[in-house]
Structure 1
Amino acid sequence: MLKDEVNKALKVVQDGGIILYPTDTIWGIGCDATNTEAVKKIYALKQRAESKSMIILLDVDNKLQSYINEVPDIAYDLMEYAEHPLTLVMPGAKNISPALIAEDGSVGVRVTANPFCQQLIQRLRKPLVSTSANISGQPSPEYFGKIDPEIIDGVDYVVDIDQHSMEVKRPSTIMRLDPSGSFQFIRR
């Protein structure tokens, strides 16, 4: 089941499509983080200004250096000891679509603990875009049943895992972290 869904989602993402998928937080809309056309499809679906950046998911923390110029040592400790899923916004983004990089050169990165996401990213060999499965300005859906039909109809594939779960999920904690190691909370 998990393997089948990873295979189906992988093909869509490799072909430049966008998927609706469960994460370790809320449901996300995602694509290959190196494919600018696919990234733009997500912005269009969400009706979101391209100046509002989206995050990328990695399967393991040792890939951080591939996408961030200078990863402060504290980043690994913050991720390891965080009680809730943690997204770190760091400057020096590289090797991803320019459409994902904020004006200040930063990108938000989260190492996912979700088995589906981990396997998909591992097979894709690239980061996965993750943004809440909602129209921009609307509340983030707490579970699959609360996702707007417009979002469901607008993606190329809906992952068939956890769709019936009513467990309320929350977005990740977000911290801005600079190369010196100083940080601030953006969303707790």
Structure 2
Amino acid sequence: MSTKFFREEVEAAVDALLMQQVLLYPTDTVWGLGCDAELPRAVEQVYKLKQRPAEKACIVLVADEQMFARYAEVVPPNLPELLATQMRPTTYVVPGSRHLAPNLLAPDGTIGLRVVLTDEFCQKVVRRLGHGLVSTSANLSGEPTPAIFSEVNPVLVRQADYVARWRQDDETRSLPSRVVRVLPDGSLEVLRD
């Protein structure tokens, strides 16, 4: 794929997000639905599209440690070391901050945050947006998670405001992220490996 096509897709995705629209896109793990993590109305649209109960929290992709700190009430003191030694995408469950759309938080006030380290498309979109990017698997609630674009339910393809064309033909399969809860003492509890 050309550099020009890549840049156009990043710009189109960011434009949709700035217009408070729902994006269907390839994440650093699986295909996802997303929106600006600071806009409650956009978050509501994601839940509506997925037919997902509002009490089931989504995760938020962030560009770096500074953006992580914007959305976390508690930042693991060893976050730089954790990221440096991370073998695969990892979502950290932490108390969420007031900068997030309130309807993104789990009932206990936590949020899952993931620093995008390896996926250039997601990195560029999040950096250009300047806010966290909601990421929830692009499936109707209860359906299997789509690892590749051809597995995304056609209903979601039709209903998303913008469908990224980037990596639609890529058949590379990735697993969902590892999920860990950050405990008060800074240690980690594995929720999904």
**TM norm structure 2:** 0.93
Which amino acid in 1 is paired with 2:53? A
2:119 maps to which of 114, 123, 126: 114
Question: In the aligned structure 1, how far is the partner of 2:97 from the partner of 2:110?
Answer: 5
The size of the alignment, in residue pairs, is 188
Q: Which runs of 4+ in 1 moved over 6 A?
A: none
Q: Does 1:95 align with 2:86?
A: no
Question: In the aligned structure 1, how far is the partner of 2:190 from the partner of 2:53?
Answer: 23
* Residue equivalent to 2:180: 175
SS in 2 for 1:76: helix
Q: Does 1:60 align with 2:59?
A: no
SS in 2 for 1:107: strand
Question: In the aligned structure 1, how far is the partner of 2:153 from the partner of 2:64?
Answer: 31
Question: In the aligned structure 2, how far is the partner of 1:58 from the partner of 1:179?
Answer: 22
Q: Does 1:157 align with 2:162?
A: yes
**TM norm structure 1:** 0.96
* Residue equivalent to 1:82: 86
SS in 1 for 2:78: helix
Q: Does 1:35 align with 2:39?
A: yes
Q: Does 1:44 align with 2:48?
A: yes
Question: Conserved in 2, the CA contact under 8 Å of 1:132 and 1:141?
Answer: yes
* Residue equivalent to 1:139: 144
Question: In the aligned structure 2, how far is the partner of 1:44 from the partner of 1:3?
Answer: 30
Question: Conserved in 2, the CA contact under 8 Å of 1:91 and 1:178?
Answer: no
Which amino acid in 1 is paired with 2:91? T
Over the matched positions of the two proteins, sequence identity in percent amounts to: 38
Cα deviations by residue, 1:30-62 (Å, 9 ceiling, x for unpaired): 100011111011101111001000000011123
Q: Does 1:6 align with 2:35?
A: no
Root mean square deviation of aligned Cα: 1.1
